[in-house]
Amino acid sequence: MSLAMGKPSMLGFSQLADSYQNSDARLFLLDWDGTLTAIVGDPEAAVPTPADIKVLERLSSNPKNDLWIISGRNSAFLQKHLGSLGSVGLSAEHGAFVRLAHHTDWETMSPWADITWQETIMAIFEDYTAQTQGSWIERKSIAITWHYRNALPDIGLRNSKECKDLIEQCILQMPSNLEVINGKMCLEVRPKDLNKGVIVRSIIMSYGGRVAPPDFVLCMGDDVTDEDMFKAIWSSSLSPERCFTVSVGQGSRPTTASWSLPEPADVMDLLGKLAAAPTKVHSEL
């Protein structure tokens, strides 16, 4: 399967229905912000509604479904708002921390012992926060994110470009293997080997010889960080015809996803229809 960037086709329930109903091992890989819930000015307000929880509960309760929420949020946020979904796997900080379905403890996926770089990056972000009214810093366990979505658009965009250039020069002088990512109205600095593609590959590999690999995959995300998930799927051994990669609110941004949906409300509507869809019984000859 080609990993070329392009403009995806609009996804509807009809494109998924037969594949979903005729499958026996389904894998859902879902981003949170901008995918399952709308991006809002205050990130703490981006919480699931009771209706959202009901859809996710119903979908994950199907024994044929393996559902993961793979987010850049920290584990505390995911545990607080989604921890009640015991049948759902949770991945925080782009795969740095994981809570498996039917488990209560969070696991650290890789020991990033060297975080001395964070003080230098914090100083830069603090400087640009002071210059950019409405911006703020989100310090995570492994990564640091500077948000400017509430700043004046022109100032936020200009300062983000300057800030990114400065950080890229700084990390060239650092021993840690870092990268700076342009997200949706934010900049994030993180270790290069920390991304959603790593956790997706780990999830796919976990099937191994233990159980049959997924014969239906639905992967949805809205941001450049979600492209790592799409690429991990296309580079796997899974059947491309059974994999649906979906860019949410894609607009004019190039993507490796094959399909698109306009906004999170459309995502939840689609998931609700899948949760309610009857499963076809395969007749034995």
Structure confidence at residue 250 as a pLDDT band (50, 70, 90): low
Name which of 233, 223, 219 is nearest 3 in CA terms: 233
d(CA 100, CA 98): 6
Summarised one tens digit per residue, pLDDT across range 24-50 is 999 999 999 999 999 888 888 899 999
Structure confidence at residue 209 as a pLDDT band (50, 70, 90): low
- Ranges of H-type helices in the chain: 13-21, 50-61, 75-82, 117-131, 153-171, 196-207, 227-234, 264-276
pTM, full prediction? 0.90
196 touches 117 (CB < 8 A): no
Note the pLDDT of residue 285: 39
d(CA 253, CA 34): 14
pLDDT at 278 over 90: no
Summarised one tens digit per residue, pLDDT across range 57-115 is 999 999 999 999 999 999 999 999 999 999 999 999 999 999 999 999 999 886 665 78
Instruction: Check residue 238 and report its DSSP letter.
Output: S
Structure confidence at residue 3 as a pLDDT band (50, 70, 90): low
